[in-house]
Amino acid sequence: MTHRDWVRLDNASNIFLAARSAADPKVFRLSAETDHDVDPQLLQEALDETYDRYRLYHAVLQSGLFWYYLQDSDLRPLVTPEEQHTCAPIYQAGRRNLLFRVIHHRRRISLEVFHALTDGTGAAWFLSDLVNAYSRRRFSDSDKMLPLEDTSEADEAPLEPEHALSIDSFAHYFHRRHRSHASGSAFSRAAGPAAFTVDDSAQSSAAHRNISRLRRPAEKKVHHVRGIRTPDNRTRVVELTMPANAVLGLARAADVSMTMYLTALFFESIRISSGGLGKARTLAASVPVNLRQFFPSTSARNFFTTVRVEHTYGQGEDDLGSICKQLESQFLPQVTQEALEKKLRWFIRVERMPGLRIVPRPLKDVILGLANRHSNRGLSVAVSNLGRLSLPEPAESHVGRVLFHVSAVRPQFCATSHAGLLTVSFTSPFVETDHIREFARMLTSEGIDVTVAAERVTEDEIAEGLS
């Protein structure tokens, strides 16, 4: 193939290139825990099948003068045993490699992804198909097993995720121009027309006028968690597992969503473990929102935004129930379809300003990096809840826990549930785990059975594991 199809990097992905660092390479991991030791050969066969259905995952990341772009490739992925620390860097400038890896360790099948390729929902689709393809091989007679039909290029597959390279849901819903894709490659044709329109009149001047309205953190001194950095910048991971229904019952008793209940617990665990927060008494969290809930899309590419919630101690009721309700009251108005559409349209207008579009890519990276650092100053932690996952049979019957975590520049937790088990995976660039201990203690005090597993990161811990 002499000509490589390519598409510009989608709107949500650009920030990951500018914000990545040695401590936070912008990699996340989704894992499925089976009821047996994984067979690497069968897993490779399953990966080959799944990879052929997901054209997006064939992409490599390239850089041009003005933008980054995803380019189709003929590379083939190989499953590997777990040999690196979790969420090790995937993308390295100048190297032409796939933007994901599949790892096995004992009973776990893990998918690690560079966040510029896809988001948690898109990765969950890939992992679900991968684990099911593996399970069909592992638990079905080979002469009765039929491969899944390739629906990635089908004209009518409304229930199937779109795996092609070019589907950018941000462009589909929020870009102002209708573009025809009647010709070109299969994945170029897959990009649908804009569902919404944006008034072009006075767009550039309006964007200029409104730059000053970009949401900034409230003028409060936000508490930042400090600690001792882990050796060689590896991510500290601590996994908590508990009955999903029991925790959901606590959230319902507080009359809030599980995400806001867990966030309030996170705030309280940080306050207690810090000895009272000191002078900076505001805790703020970044919470990603899956836009597919509001703007139906089968694209496997990034399609999410983030909202911010906070609580300031000493300015009202500080009991757990009151914090839960305050966070919920901040969160809900930000996640209506109207609020999200207004926010995202504004950001894309700014992105498409002619003056910014001709800025060279390296300078854009600097600008985005500065904006990201400015945003980080207004945050204490980050949280992400992927929700309840279900798998097709036969995978559903042979998978217990599903786990989700990310590399982190600040303390963070990621939650997901499967088979009645909720996993809350904490990650941090620091070795300290006091806030996690308090989080687990508060749950156990409510009668929740919590099990804890921690990845070794310090020299002493690693040496202990080898002994």
pLDDT of residue 196: 31
Tell whether the model's pLDDT for residue 273 goes beyond 80. Answer: yes
The pLDDT-based confidence of 349 (bands split at 50, 70, 90) is confident
| Lowest mean per-residue pLDDT among 11-20, 93-102, 214-223, 419-428 | 214-223
Domains 6-212 and 220-466 share a fold: yes
Query: What is the pLDDT averaged over residues 288-306?
Result: 88
Report the percentage of the chain scoring pLDDT > 70. 79
Ordered by start, the domain boundaries in the chain are 6-212, 220-466
Mean pLDDT in residue range 376-383 = 94
The string of pLDDT tens digits covering residues 246-268 is 999 999 999 999 999 999 999 99
Residue range 23-60, pLDDT digits in tens = 899 999 999 999 999 999 999 999 999 999 999 999 99
> Does residue 229 carry a pLDDT above 60?
yes
Q: What is the 3-state secondary structure (H, E, C) of the chain?
A: CCCCCEEECCHHHHHHHHHCCCCCCCEEEEEEEECCCCCHHHHHHHHHHHHHHCHHHHCEEEECCCCEEEECCCCCCCCEECCCCCCCCCCCCCCCCECEEEEEECCEEEEEEECCCCCHHHHHHHHHHHHHHHHHHHHCCCCCCCCCCCCCCCCCCCCCCECCCCCCHHHHHHCCCCCCCCCCCHHHHCCCCCCCCCCCCCHHHHHHHHHHHCCCCCCCCECCCCCCECHHHCCEEEEEEEEHHHHHHHHHHCCCCHHHHHHHHHHHHHHHHHCCCCCCCEEEEEEEEEHHHCCCCCECCCCEEEEEEEEECCCCCCCHHHHHHHHHHHHHHHCCHHHHHHHHHHHHHHHCCHHHHCCCHHHHHHHHHHHHHHHHCCCCEEEEEEEECCCCCCHHHHEEEEEEEECCCCCEEEEEEECCEEEEEEEECECCCHHHHHHHHHHHHCCCCCEEEECCCCHHHHHHHHC
CATH assignment, 220-466: 3.30.559.30
Mean pLDDT across the stretch 128-157?
Answer: 64
**How much is the average pLDDT of 229-233?**
88
pTM: 0.86
So what's the pLDDT on residue 298? 81
Predicted local confidence at residue 10, as pLDDT: 66
Asked if residue 223 lies in contact with residue 274, where contact means CB atoms within 8 angstroms, the answer is yes
**pLDDT (average), residues 70-88:** 95
User: Is residue 87 very low, low, confident or very high in pLDDT (cuts 50, 70, 90)?
Assistant: very high
Neighbours of 434 (CB within 10 A): 16
The owner of tokens 């990879």 is 51
Query: Has residue 207 got a pLDDT over 50?
Result: no
pLDDT, average across residues 435-443: 97
The residue among 205 and 242 whose pLDDT is bigger is 242
pLDDT > 60? residue 183: no
Cβ(302)–Cβ(13) below 8 Å: yes
Could you tell me what percent of the chain has a pLDDT over 90?
59
Q: CB-side exposure of 65: number of CA atoms within 13 Å?
A: 2
Mean pLDDT of all residues in 390-398: 96
Residue 174's pLDDT band (cuts 50, 70, 90): low
Fold of domain 6-212: Chloramphenicol Acetyltransferase (3.30.559)
